[in-house]
Structure 1
């Protein structure tokens, strides 16, 4: 068991090389992406799939009324979540005392800024003040965009522009293999779960697309990052809780969450979680 835990720890903390090229990583992600898959001729996306796979299906709105607004009066939940997030309060991270359990985030923020400097998206010596709506939905560092042309729904590659190490780690799941070939390379994993969806004949053949897209509600992690830490707070503490995993890993088809809760590990979690600080580094 100790050897297994050490191996898992290595996988979790595996750093991306300082020489990792974000552009090369993003380009490879786009090349590997299956899009509509090998059964593309047999199905057409419905509107909700613009969210599940924005890379292929999202279209900027032609009118203000069609926009996913960030206005307090239109989408107050989005605004409140962002205001309470680390993205909105980067200076608070910089001023944390070293005794604070979240102080490790200062180094992570410095790494993000270094990534952006290398990509020419941030001037050397300049600090990010916040990550605002336009950075994710328009372009990092932009002041204005044309909503009918430039507005985007962020995908994994957008997140990976700043979070290069995390993006590289997530994409590395595609390299996993099974000792006896029980699964194809990379399967099963978040990094290829959309591919597993669109290249399943039964899914592609379903005429009631609103039912078929029920699978997409979980099989979209290959496309986006908010399945584990919900937009627009993107909380690492949330993603560390098993309840976040339960969004998908539950029920008769894949009852990992229930199995976990009924295991000794789950018992320990349920009886002691109120004493744990999920903001602490892993």
Structure 2
């Protein structure tokens, strides 16, 4: 009798301990590494649970007053068929030709025949093989993902999708395209194209990191609006751009949206349906957007000594090792885009802008304030990053020279701007008084404006205005990017400086 009482008492104690432990899991602080600025912006305490944080992030993510939706120029443009895939929250509607209550297993069975590329990628992903990750020995470079699966399960328990003690069996089509944990769903009404918030339901930490770009990028002299430019508010670069909204050629305009998707999605770097961390760590993952005449980061990197080492030695690196261990355990002996831009004070995060100083394009209000504490603190963070491979002295020497070189390029551009603006104000540009149609609304006329790279009618733009638009939007930026990515030809002769000199000469001839 006494023995059974002891057993019952022991069982009751275990139950209380388990209940307390689960309460701790469900109410544990969400993310220790989420910036304080984000908790403050969301009105949350640092002790917020994953559910509280996810709900607050999602509410803001879909808030049209904070970056979502068609923007202030919405009446000037309409979506085209491809738009529903680029901005699914606003424009996607499920196809009405497939009327089926799809079961979890049916998704894979059907799409293995209809779209085999999707299912083939998914079957080779972590999502399709959770147990394979769980069973990895600790010596495997991917073993860190076991803790990530546990974190995801804790997030889903906090949110209420998983029951206490329940584990995640897989992440299948239905979880992302209808709802996490669903067994079935109506294809005609419940099918969705996932966005970052859909990914964030499981990956709360990564979602919060990316969203924190809004909160940690507040310019001291209002050089840009808060949170700009960033991945978190990427779509704003489109919908708040007058010429983008004004363009009749929507197919061309939507070319911008392939990169400037609503609050750049996780899929932008971790391509569906493999969602590979290995792929996202390689420079080519960044290259699809970060290339070309107005932001040639990829070209600059690949033609630098860093890029040379990557191209000649990258096949000897273990890309499965997480970034934090890439140099020590992964044999990495040169930086990648991800290593430099995700690192901040010794940690790696999806907030890419905590060290940003020159942002997208050099401007006088930045150049004039480089000694302000906001800028110098960010520069110190770059010195710390560079010091993973270089001496403190070398890092400071290069960064100081980079700043001076960028300022020199900006000086040429601004002098040319003053010449062009005077010609415009004096109405001396070719055809200005006889053949200068106004640009379509909501765009407004300007001398050498951004719109003149995408719209033309009569003498608007004049040839010299196009030269200037090309100068400040392309050559000046390539000069800056060549310096920032250590590509000598990218800022001296092939691109950058020499091109700025040529453009200035043409403008001064006027």
Calculate the TM-score normalised by the size of structure 1: 0.90
- Provide the residue aligned with 2:295 in structure 1: 254
Aligned pair partner of 1:211 in 219, 230, 252: 252
Please give the secondary structure, in 1, of the residue aligned with 2:114. coil
Between the aligned partners of 2:144 and 2:86, the Cα distance in structure 1 is 32
- Alignment of 1:28 onto 2:60: yes
Q: Distance in 2 between matches of 1:224 and 1:245?
A: 13
The match for 2:156 is 116
- The structure with the greater share of residues assigned to helix is 2
Secondary structure (helix, strand or coil) at the match of 1:196 reads helix
The 1-side partners of 2:83 and 2:246 are apart by: 16
Residues 1:140 and 2:180 are matched in the alignment: yes
Specify the SS of the correspondent of 1:145: strand
Q: Distance in 2 between matches of 1:163 and 1:198?
A: 27
Q: CA RMSD in A?
A: 1.9
Q: Deviations over 1:152-200 (max 9, x none)?
A: 0001110000000000000011121335433221111111110111110
Which residue of structure 2 lines up, in the alignment, with residue 7 of structure 1?
none
How far apart in 2 are the matches of 1:113 and 1:276?
Answer: 31
Aligned partners of 2:62 and 2:69 also within 8 Å: no
Q: How does the TM-score come out when normalised to structure 2? A: 0.51
Q: Is the 2:68–2:262 Cα contact (8 Å) retained in structure 1?
A: no
Which is worse superposed, 247-256 or 221-230?
Answer: 221-230
Structure 1, unpaired ranges of 5+: 1-12
SS in 1 for 2:71: coil
Aligned residues: 268
Counterpart contact for 1:221–1:227, Cα < 8 Å: no
Counterpart position of 2:122: 82
Aligned partner of residue 149 in structure 1, secondary structure: helix
User: 1:10: which partner in 2?
Assistant: none
Deviates more, 1:218-227 or 1:133-142: 218-227
Runs of 4+ more than 4 Å apart: none
**Contact residue 52 and residue 223 of structure 1 kept, 8 A:** no
Alignment of 1:58 onto 2:99:
no
Alignment correspondent of 1:102 = 142
The residue number in structure 1 matching 2:195 is 155
Q: Larger RCO: Structure 1 or Structure 2 (Cα < 8 Å, ≥ 6 residues apart)? A: 1
Query: Aligned residue for 1:6?
Result: none
Could you tell me how far apart the structure 2 residues matched to 1:84 and 1:18 are?
A: 37
Work out which of the two has the higher radius of gyration on C-alpha atoms and give 1 or 2.
2
Unaligned 5+ segments in structure 2 are: 1-30, 35-45, 100-106, 324-510
Alignment deviations for residues 207-255 of structure 1 (CA, whole Å, 9 cap, x no partner): 1111110101111161521111110000011000000000111111210
Asked if structure 2 preserves the Cα contact closer than 8 Å seen for 1:89 and 1:130, the reply is yes
Distance 2:130 2:181 in 1: 15
